[in-house]
Amino acid sequence: MTEDEKFFAWLDGELAPHEAAEMEAKVAADPQLQQLVEQHRALGAQLRGAFDSIEAAPIPERLQAALRPSAEVIDFAAAKRARTMPSLSQWASMAATLAIGVLVGTMVPQRGGAPVEVQGGKIYAAAALNQALDTQLASAPSGDVRIGMTFRDQAGEICRSFTQPAASGVACRDDGRWKLKGLFAAPEGQGSDYRMAAGMDPNLASLVDSTMTGEPFDAAQEKAALKRGWR
Amino acid sequence: MDQLSSFDDQLASLLPRLRRFAHSLSRDSADADDLTQATIERALKSRDQWQEGTRLDSWAYRIMRNLWIDTARARTRRSTREAPEEEGLNVGEDPRDAMDASVDLKRVMTAMGRLPDEQREVVALILVEGFGYREVSEMLGLPIGTVSSRLVRGRTALLAMVGEQ
């Protein structure tokens, strides 16, 4: 232990009695050290004072809600339980890789700008899809694109699942843009069926499941995230 | 069942302290509450890994610290792109009405935010949360000498920063 470390260990009450007595005598004989003691005691008090205001503050509702997750995410939990076939998610992630190439081809020549664009080997949301991901709340659907869930991935970035007439998918924030994590063609004949809940499409659900950490955002969190620019 | 509900109750009673720790690690209140929420979710999911009879607080603090480290890369990337000063002063949910309290908190959070991560966590755990050197060394898996030298550097830098404000 250096002398500095010994001094601070003494200040924090971490020294053994005989060493503490030694340091105490040293400090008593040194006005400069005494000043340092005062400064650091004041610093400690200031730190504790500032952060104790957090400890004393009421707990925000969303944190209380996190302790009783069943109330918030009942739909998604039900969707998870409904997927009983263990091999399904493996197939789904393979499909996610395959589906994207096929789909980009069919989506590019759409009117009003393609919903995706490829840049540097990454696929980003564009046009109406980008607009919807940026501005739309799940609670207030409008236009062709419908937002399902908003959540964070393992890297802490915000992701959103979406459904549009031809496809559904998940996009996550990547340097200020929406990078597509997966895209699935809508099953034949269900192309415009919006009634199917996003979490119920097994491909999409398993991609959401493997991407998400924690629980999906509730309406208030989604709104707050929008206000913060999805950071 | 009793065991489970006592886990929930204990975790609930830790919330104010976890929030405080999150604020001492994070840049602003919004980030701190995101971190707190992620910690609760992870703790609930990993409850089987907690051993009855060991300290739940150290266990939960360790989860929070690891989640915070996990997102460090994303955080650094974001903070270099944004104006850090503005963000550092942006305390979303002011916990107290008193003006001076929130100014104090902003100032202290900004100063803490300028410490290197490895010094900040040690300062937070020992000077704010009141853990002992030995406890922190076990929690972080670091030799006690490393804890002690990071603490010296962290608190010395903090004193200089708070002094110049």
**B122: Cβ–Cβ under 8 A, 6 or more apart, which residues?**
B136, B140, B147, B150, B151, B154
**A83: Cβ–Cβ under 8 A, 6 or more apart, which residues?**
A89, A202, A205, A206
CB contact under 8 A, A155 and B74: yes
A214 to chain B, closest Cα gap in Å: 5
pLDDT of residue B89: 40
- Which residues of chain A are within 8 Å of residue B158 when distances are taken between CB atoms? 43, 47
User: Is residue A116 domain-shared with residue A7, that is, in the same domain?
Assistant: no
How many domains are there within chain B? 1
A18 to chain B, any CB pair closer than 8 A? The answer is: no
User: Is residue A46 domain-shared with residue A107, that is, in the same domain?
Assistant: no
Place of tokens 């659900």: A205
Residues of chain A with pLDDT under 50: 71-91, 94, 98-99, 101-102, 105-106, 108-111, 189-200
User: Is residue A212 domain-shared with residue A139, that is, in the same domain?
Assistant: yes
pLDDT > 80? residue B14: yes
Give the integer Cα–Cα distance in Å for B161 and B114: 9
- Which residues of chain A are within 8 Å of residue B11 when distances are taken between CB atoms? 67
**A79: Cβ–Cβ under 8 A, 6 or more apart, which residues?**
A197, A199, A200, A205
Position A67 in a domain: no
pLDDT > 80? residue B90: no
Position A70 in a domain: no
Position A68 in a domain: no
- Which residues of chain B are within 8 Å of residue A1 when distances are taken between CB atoms? 145, 148
Give the integer Cα–Cα distance in Å for B69 and B81: 19
Give the integer Cα–Cα distance in Å for A81 and B158: 50
B24 to chain A, any CB pair closer than 8 A? The answer is: yes
Position A61 in a domain: no
Q: Output DSSP code: residue B49.
A: G
User: Is residue A159 domain-shared with residue A223, that is, in the same domain?
Assistant: yes
3-state secondary structure of A175: coil
B158 to chain A, any CB pair closer than 8 A? The answer is: yes
When scoring A43, A153, A172, A222 by the number of chain B Cβ atoms within 10 A, the one with the most, hence best to mutate, is A43
pLDDT of residue B75: 62
CB contacts under 8 A, A 203-222 vs B, are 213-215
User: Is residue A28 domain-shared with residue A115, that is, in the same domain?
Assistant: no
User: Is residue A47 domain-shared with residue A111, that is, in the same domain?
Assistant: no
Q: Are A150 and A160 in contact (CB under 8 A)?
A: yes
What the block records as the tokens of A115 is: 């919903």
pLDDT of residue A73: 41
A82 to chain B, closest Cα gap in Å: 19
Q: What is the mean pLDDT of residues B7-35?
A: 92
Position A164 in a domain: yes
- Which residues of chain B are within 8 Å of residue A157 when distances are taken between CB atoms? 74
pLDDT of residue A4: 92
CB contact under 8 A, A63 and B109: no
User: Is residue A148 domain-shared with residue A37, that is, in the same domain?
Assistant: no
B146-158: pLDDT as tens digits:
999 999 999 999 9
User: Is residue A20 domain-shared with residue A112, that is, in the same domain?
Assistant: no
User: Is residue A114 domain-shared with residue A51, that is, in the same domain?
Assistant: no
- Which residues of chain B are within 8 Å of residue A156 when distances are taken between CB atoms? 70-71, 74-75
Candidates A46, A55, A231; nearest CB to B78: A231
- Which residues of chain B are within 8 Å of residue A152 when distances are taken between CB atoms? 34, 38
Position A196 in a domain: yes
CB contact under 8 A, A54 and B38: no
CB contact under 8 A, A51 and B24: yes
Mean pLDDT of chain B, nearest integer:
82
* Range of the structural domain that residue B46 is part of: 2-164
CB contacts under 8 A, A 25-84 vs B, are 39-40, 43-44, 46-60, 62-64, 66-67, 69
User: Is residue A88 domain-shared with residue A25, that is, in the same domain?
Assistant: no
How many domains are there within chain A? 2
* Range of the structural domain that residue A107 is part of: 75-227
In terms of C-beta density within 10 A (0-12 exposed, 13-18 middle, 19 or more buried), how is residue B109 classed? buried
User: Is residue A120 domain-shared with residue A181, that is, in the same domain?
Assistant: yes
**CATH number of domain containing B55:** 1.20.140.160
pLDDT > 90? residue B39: yes
Rg (CA), chain A: 27
B161 to chain A, any CB pair closer than 8 A? The answer is: no
pLDDT of residue B123: 97
Position A69 in a domain: no
Candidates A14, A53, A66; nearest CB to B101: A53
User: Is residue A21 domain-shared with residue A135, that is, in the same domain?
Assistant: no
In terms of C-beta density within 10 A (0-12 exposed, 13-18 middle, 19 or more buried), how is residue B36 classed? buried
Q: What is the mean pLDDT of residues B126-155?
A: 95
- Which residues of chain B are within 8 Å of residue A50 when distances are taken between CB atoms? 101, 104-105, 107-109
The Cβ-side half-sphere exposure at A18, using a 13 Å CA radius, reads: 0
